[in-house]
Amino acid sequence: MSQPPAHASDNCIFCKIAAGQTPSRKVYEDDEIFVFHDIQPWAPVHFLMIPKMHVASMAQVGPEHAGLLGRMMALAPGLAAEQGCNPYPEGGFRMVINTGAEGGQEVHHLHIHVIGGPRPWLKG
């Protein structure tokens, strides 16, 4: 197994998933982005997109992250379709970024939820 990168945050579960140290059901990976299925899906399709570098939340995002976040957003439609989201406009998907305790964030490594597939969903 590979070592976590130097910028990884100790004891961050998503840093460990991105480094392959904690198992996950991988959807996609490149040099800077890792995508995996949520362990408690709300819907037929529910995956998480994370930067490999540790960024705690959207609250820490600045102009230096614009390229990375743009690349993450731009990956989502293709992965959503591949994973079984039906075509827009009858189908579609939802993208959610919970931020901070009041924003409902439980894991403090920035992640984009991509949720979709035929309804009903468990929530949302």
Residues recognised as catalytic = 111
12 counts as binding Zn ion under rule CB under 5 A: yes
User: Residues 2-33, buried b or exposed e (16+ Cβ, 10 A)?
Assistant: eebeeebbeebebbbbbbeeeebeebeeeeeb
| Run of H or E including 79 | helix 66-83
100 counts as binding ligand AMP under rule CB under 6 A: no
Helix, strand or coil, per DSSP, at residue 66: helix
1/63 with CB nearer ligand AMP: 1
Q: Find, among 101, 99, 104, 102, the residue nearest to 123 by Cα.
A: 104
Least Cβ distance, residue 107 to ligand AMP (angstroms): 4
15 binds, among Zn ion, ligand AMP, none (CB under 5 to 8 A by kind): Zn ion
Quick note: the x/- pattern for ligand AMP over 2-31, rule CB under 6 A, is -----------x----------x-------
Least Cβ distance, residue 52 to ligand AMP (angstroms): 15
What's the token pair of residue 28?
Answer: 């996609």
Q: What residue has token string 């009858």?
A: 90
Q: Which residues bind Zn ion (CB under 5 A)?
A: 9, 12, 14-15, 54, 109
